[in-house]
Amino acid sequence: MRWSGWGDPDRAAPLPEPVVGLLRDVLGVRTGDARPVDLAGIAPAEPRLDAAELAALAAAAGGAEHVRTDATTRVRHTRGKSTPDLLRVRAGETSAAPDAVVLPGGHDEVLAVLRACTDHRIAVVPFGGGTSVVGGLAPQGVDRFIALDLRRMDALVSIDHESRTAVLQPGLRAPDAEALLAGHGYTLGHFPQSYEWATIGGFAAARSSGQASAGYGRFDDMVLGLTVATPEGTLDLGRAPKSAAGPDLRQLVLGSEGAFGVITSVTVRIHPTPAERAYEGWRFPSFAEGAAALRRLAQDGPLPAVLRLSDETETLIGLADPAALGSGSAAAGCLAVLGFEGTAARVADRRARAAEVLRDAGGEPLGAEPGEKWAHGRFDAPYLRDSLLDVGAFVETLETAGFWSRIPGLYDAVRNALIGTLSGSGTPPLVMCHISHVYHSGASLYFTVVSAQGEDPLPHWDEAKRAANDAIVGAGGTISHHHGVGTDHRDWYEREIGPLGGAVLRAVKDRLDPAGILNPGVLVPPAGE
């Protein structure tokens, strides 16, 4: 993975000329060279671990070769992949570098590392794909910390064909999990934008939601069992798909972002590989009319596996099709993308019935092309971000979810907050939005912001992001539909769940991690605040 950006360096591409023109003429981006510094030239501060501590970690992780303190490895485990994270590492700022990277080989080794870190008061940041965009990898209030990289735990442990479940290790990257399952004729059906780099453990810890969530569910719907290593021992949860035996403790671990323990095994439901996958595009006159059409599918069916709707701006810019960015080819209105999966007969039946609903709701069919284009470029947006940053543009995303009746208010409030603050600081943005996840009773909203970087993008974005978060909480949305809380959203998360909800989290954390070594400052406020 590119240390200073997203994914495979070979897939980064220069921006097409119309996009550069748009950035210059519309957003005032002074295009130029804003590329990152050289990795070789970055020297993070000396690790703050002594020889005895490193030896204890090596003993716990099964050997000195599984404890790395070289600069390159540490830089590659510094922060996550939010735009502020990237701007910092691109500038060579490595204050959040871990003191060491430790690679345990199994559950017992994780337990041993947690014990060693408790004894030595070393903080631990569980590390999967390193794709957090909410500051989930930059602990707060700690003297020194290790990144606990789970890449060695990357096995498909077992498949239960009758129950259609599989046991996966947490360090398995999503494409590898899909490939292993495909070897047995199955798919997990989880395809978030982070798919190429994110891991099974990260999906569980952060309550991930994939682009086919309407068909396969969110990752928290997929998880049937969890094993969790904590400083106080092991949690082993999930004896049935559903149970009335007390609260669902799996749902307390899902979304715990490494603050309660390290997920060392995940049992998930699996599905036979679909015989057919078909995508198509529809146009709606307005975002409101398109949203109403999506709501009809979500409430009365048939629900496609993929169901998305871009607003007018995102449709015009053509972000759904990065290759066509700036061409304005989609013309007016709002583009919806539908994806159907299953047997040929089921796909045909559901497509036909969905078409009936969408036509009745004012939609115009655009055929397969816009859908296939979206599917083809579905994991490309983060690469595009790297190219935009390189030429001096600022681009970032944020998201929320709410009940259907609150969606228009949420949309307006967040958009106005972003436009107002960034215009006020001299970098008027383009704000685009789409719905990418729908439920019976509500939907998500995903915003993309593009502007000039300006003189000092970090404080300007911080101000805009705070305004957007305030708008989300004020309009009754959740602070995150699928990015998570991390450190970035923590203050708003506490407003969302209230002081007593925060106190419950703190009580759980104190019981499982009394020394407070696990991801300090992530999700749960640091003790004493």
Which residues, 474 to 503, sit near a copy of itself by CB under 8 A? 476-485, 489, 493, 496-501, 503
Closest CA to 301 of 340, 271, 342: 340
Cβ 299 to a copy of itself shortest distance, Å = 6
Among 31, 140, 234, 397, binds a copy of itself (CB under 8 A): 234
Among 108, 176, 232, 491, binds a copy of itself (CB under 8 A): 232
Going by their DSSP bridges, the two strands 276-284 and 233-237 should be labelled as: unpaired
Rounded CA gap, 120 and 141, in Å? 16
Among 32, 41, 247, 528, binds a copy of itself (CB under 8 A): 247
Cβ 221 to a copy of itself shortest distance, Å = 8
Rounded CA gap, 326 and 516, in Å? 49
Q: Does 409 bind a copy of itself (CB under 8 A)?
A: no
| Phi, psi angles (nearest 5°) of residue 191 | -130, 70
Rounded CA gap, 302 and 193, in Å? 24
| Phi, psi angles (nearest 5°) of residue 162 | -70, -45
Binders of a copy of itself among 448-477, rule CB under 8 A? 476-477
Cβ 246 to a copy of itself shortest distance, Å = 5
Cβ 504 to a copy of itself shortest distance, Å = 6
Residues paired with residue 237 on neighbouring β-strands, in sequence order: 226
Closest CA to 227 of 196, 183, 267: 267
Q: Which helix (H) or strand (E) holds 398?
A: strand 393-403
Among 17, 38, 162, 528, binds a copy of itself (CB under 8 A): 162
Cα radius of gyration (the chain): 23
Nearer to a copy of itself, 47 or 502 (CB): 502
φ/ψ region of 348 (left if φ > 0, alpha if ψ in -120 to 50, else beta) reads alpha
Q: Does 332 bind a copy of itself (CB under 8 A)?
A: no
The stretch near a copy of itself (CB under 8 A) out of 38-46, 106-114, 358-366, 510-518 is: 510-518
Cβ 396 to a copy of itself shortest distance, Å = 17
The stretch near a copy of itself (CB under 8 A) out of 54-62, 252-260, 275-283, 386-394 is: 252-260
Rounded CA gap, 315 and 465, in Å? 23
**What crossing angle do the helices spanning 344-360 and 287-300 adopt, rounded to 10°?**
130
Nearer to a copy of itself, 269 or 378 (CB): 269
Q: Does 107 bind a copy of itself (CB under 8 A)?
A: no
Among 237, 348, 366, 381, binds a copy of itself (CB under 8 A): 237
Binders of a copy of itself among 194-213, rule CB under 8 A? 206-209
Q: Does 244 bind a copy of itself (CB under 8 A)?
A: yes
C-beta of residue 103 within 8 angstroms of C-beta of residue 61: yes
φ/ψ region of 169 (left if φ > 0, alpha if ψ in -120 to 50, else beta) reads beta
The single-letter DSSP state of residue 519 is: S
Binders of a copy of itself among 270-329, rule CB under 8 A? 295, 299
The stretch near a copy of itself (CB under 8 A) out of 61-69, 167-175, 274-282, 397-405 is: 397-405
How many binding residues for a copy of itself (CB under 8 A)? Answer: 81
Asked if the peptide bond before residue 302 counts as cis, ω within 30 degrees of 0, the response is yes
Nearer to a copy of itself, 17 or 162 (CB): 162
Q: Does 187 bind a copy of itself (CB under 8 A)?
A: no
217 burial class (0-12, 13-18, 19+ CB within 10 angstroms)?
middle
Structure tokens at 142: 């700690």
Cβ 390 to a copy of itself shortest distance, Å = 29
Cβ 399 to a copy of itself shortest distance, Å = 9
Residues paired with residue 145 on neighbouring β-strands, in sequence order: 123
Cβ 94 to a copy of itself shortest distance, Å = 28
Q: Does 185 bind a copy of itself (CB under 8 A)?
A: no
Q: Does 437 bind a copy of itself (CB under 8 A)?
A: yes
The stretch near a copy of itself (CB under 8 A) out of 66-74, 139-147, 303-311, 435-443 is: 435-443
3-state helix/strand/coil string of 472-486:
HHHCCCECCCCCCCC
